[in-house]
Chain A
Amino acid sequence: GQNIDQPTEMTATEGAIVQINCTYQTSGFNGLFWYQQHAGEAPTFLSYNVLDGLEEKGRFSSFLSRSKGYSYLLLKELQMKDSASYLCAVQTGGSYIPTFGRGTSLIVHP
């Protein structure tokens, strides 16, 4: 089976930078997604990494190290609206089956 680990909760200050880590143990790794989910809403796509390295998209960046089974999501210039759950999802196998971690609840305070 797949094992995906994320911190349960993090807090940060508006305007700051926060890094949310995700570690995984899987077989047949294809790629890794990050999704954002506001309370009571559906997850929305943030990023997808298949190769090692950093992918930057505006205020959000995602990093992957396949050899270490490690990824992080970096959020810069935090805004109050960034308060949400951040879900790491690993895709495996020939059928690209996605498995989600339990999510990290990020609280941004003034």
Chain B
Amino acid sequence: EAGVAQSPRYKIIEKRQSVAFWCNPISGHATLYWYQQILGQGPKLLIQFQNNGVVDDSQLPKDRFSAERLKGVDSTLKIQPAKLEDSAVYLCASSLVGGNTEAFFGQGTRLTVV
């Protein structure tokens, strides 16, 4: 079974530039999550989708971050403009349903903002 695919693996940008991350979840997984993980901390949920609808985006900084999952399959997360404090690993995860099932994580995108 193919896992959660993310790209790119690494990205370095200057502050105020924009960047986009892509995620393809495991086939058949209705729930998709984007997490931000700063070094030394646990993952922080940015947004949770159920199919193509948003379940929770309460911690997404909406003035600069946006995410979409138009066809209920793959998803993109965008940052515009980036700030130094956005440097982190961005993890995408998926699960069968949003309930008591484990989430499978992708390898993540390591973003460095300079």
Q: Residues of A at under 8 Å CB distance from B?
A: 4, 30-31, 33, 41-45, 48, 50, 87, 89, 91, 95-103
Contacts and interface: CB of A to CB of B under 8 A. Distances in A.
A42 B108 contact: yes
Interface in B50-76: 50, 55-56
A51 to B, nearest CB: 11
A98 B108 contact: no
Contacts of B33: 98
Interface of B: 33, 35, 40-45, 48, 50, 55-56, 91, 98-100, 102-108
A106 B41 CA distance: 14
B102 to A, nearest CB: 4
14 contacts: A33-B102, A33-B103, A42-B108, A43-B91, A43-B105, A44-B105, A45-B103, A87-B42, A89-B42, A95-B50, A97-B45, A100-B45, A102-B42, A103-B41
B103 to A, nearest CB: 7
Contact of B55 (A33, A50, A91, A95): A95
Nearest to A104: B42
A16 B44 CA distance: 32
Given A42-B91, A43-B43, A95-B98, 7 more contacts: A43-B91, A43-B105, A44-B105, A45-B104, A95-B50, A98-B103, A100-B44
Given A95-B55, A98-B45, A42 B100 contact: no
Contacts of A31: 100
A50 B35 CA distance: 23
Nearest to A31: B100
B41 A102 contact: yes
B43 A30 contact: no
A89 B103 CA distance: 11
Contacts of A98: 33, 45, 103
Given A96-B99, A97-B56, A42 B42 contact: no
Contacts of B45: 97-100
Contacts of B108: 42
Nearest to A100: B42
